[in-house]
Structure 1
Amino acid sequence: MDETALIALALQMRERAYAPYSGYRVGAALLSASGRVFTGCNVENAVYPLGLCAERVAVFKAISEGERTFITIVVATENGGTPCGACRQVLSEFAADLRILLVDARGQVRETSLRALLPEPFGPQDLRSVR
């Protein structure tokens, strides 16, 4: 799938977000190495910690469908914001070199990478050292 189509999907998913508390709607489109695309939107809850970010929704959908390798994620927000720390950590479990496209509500796109946003992630190697 091309970049333009991924961006359009993320923007579409942003419209589906359930964000009555923060008003900060987020959509995501995650491209796997096999070419499949998994989408997500943020889902808030009155008990705030029970909500889930769009990026993790997309990752968990992909994992549940058997995908484990990812190339690009597009994250659509009002202001082109980056993934939160929890999403960065989850993404790093599967794609340390992930390409990230951030798109705002006007369609402006900025490119970054997971390594730039999370240069020293906690990972399986850290668990092995304590055994």
Structure 2
Amino acid sequence: MSDELLTAARDVRENAHAPYSGFRVGAAIRTASGIHIGCNVENAAFPEGVCAEGGAISAMVAAGETEILEVLVYAEADTPVAPCGGCRQKLAEFAGPDIVIHLAGTSGITTSMTVAELLPGAFGAHQMDRD
């Protein structure tokens, strides 16, 4: 299953718009209906760009999906590139704590962790319940 995500994230990374950092990232999210992809899109008014994970989540929601089953983030770097803090929170919004996030690069998947490992103590809607 992760091979499809790896291919999708690696391929969409090529479409990233990263003229300032030169650091291109691709993300692929699996849902019940299929795979949704996103790449980072920088803009001159840094940091107003979009991360790959955020782009993939937007594509997922636009397709009518709201439940993440698996995620893969692809970047060509010497070490695994984990989602930024904002993207960790975005992922936690749509994925349960046991959902696996894979980090990959030219060597393939190098690290896999759960949402709970990626964002321990995540803030969620349940904390806003007003009884």
User: What TM-score comes out, normalization by structure 2 length?
Assistant: 0.90
Instruction: Judge which range, 47-56 or 90-99, deviates more.
Output: 90-99
Alignment check: 8 A CA contact 2:102 2:109 kept: no
Matching residue's letter, 2:108: G
Structure 2: stretches of 5+ with no match in the other structure: none
Deviation at 1:108, TM superposition (A): 4.4
Using the TM superposition, give the Cα deviation of residue 107 of structure 1 relative to its aligned residue in structure 2, in angstroms: 2.6
Number of residues paired by the alignment? Answer: 128
Aligned to 2:113: 112
Q: Which runs of 5+ in 1 are unaligned?
A: none
Cα displacement string for residues 87-117 of structure 1 (whole angstroms, at most 9, x for unaligned residues): 0001111103321110013334321111101
Distance in 2 between the 1:42 and 1:78 partners? Answer: 13
- In 1, Cα distance between equivalents of 2:56 and 2:50: 10
Q: Does residue 48 in structure 1 map to residue 46 in structure 2? A: yes
1:81 maps to what in 2?
81
Deviation at 1:65, TM superposition (A): 1.2
Higher helix residue share: 1
Percent of pairs with identical residues: 40
Are 2:13 and 1:14 aligned? yes
Query: RMSD in angstroms over aligned alpha carbons?
Result: 1.5
Separation in 2 of the partners of 1:88 and 1:11? 20
Structure 1 residue 56, shift from structure 2 partner? 0.7
- Structure 1 segments (4+ residues) deviating >4 Å: none
- Scaled by the length of structure 1, the TM-score of the pair is 0.90
